Amino acid sequence: MADLPVGHSVAAVLAEGLTRTQIVQYAGASGDFNALHTDEVYARQVRRLPGVIAHGMLTMGMTGRLVADALGVENLRRSAAGSSHRCGPATR
């Protein structure tokens, strides 16, 4: 671990093909039914987004899994994260 330089970054695809259905399923699991995550019309017309977006905690969980897999969970003592981009369903 000591050989990683400060500012080291990794680019990775965390959820190729994330679907709107999966986002809505996560809403059910988390209890967060905010219209940003479940209502396409609201997201587009009211919030002026390209469509529904994934929950921040869903994307943070995916990111945490990437970090734990890359570094080894035994090497982690704590984790903190922030969000700078929105994540929505795949458009393919």
How does pLDDT run across 59-78, given as a tens digit for each residue? Answer: 888 888 888 888 888 988 88
Phi, psi of 45 (to 5 degrees): -85, -40
pLDDT value at residue 33: 93
- Residue 88 contacts residue 53 (beta carbons within 8 Å): yes
Mean pLDDT, all residues of the chain:
84
pLDDT (average), residues 27-39? 93
User: Is the pTM for the entire model greater than 0.85?
Assistant: no
How does pLDDT run across 8-27, given as a tens digit for each residue? Answer: 887 777 777 888 888 989 99
pLDDT value at residue 2: 58
pLDDT of 42 over the 90 cut: yes
CATH fold for the domain made of 1-76+83-92? Thiol Ester Dehydrase; Chain A (3.10.129)
- Within 10 A of 89 (CB to CB), how many other CB atoms are there? 20
Spell out the domain ranges in the chain: 1-76+83-92
Taking the C-alpha atoms of residue 56 and residue 58, their distance in angstroms, rounded to an integer, is 5
Tell me, what DSSP letter sits at residue 7?
T
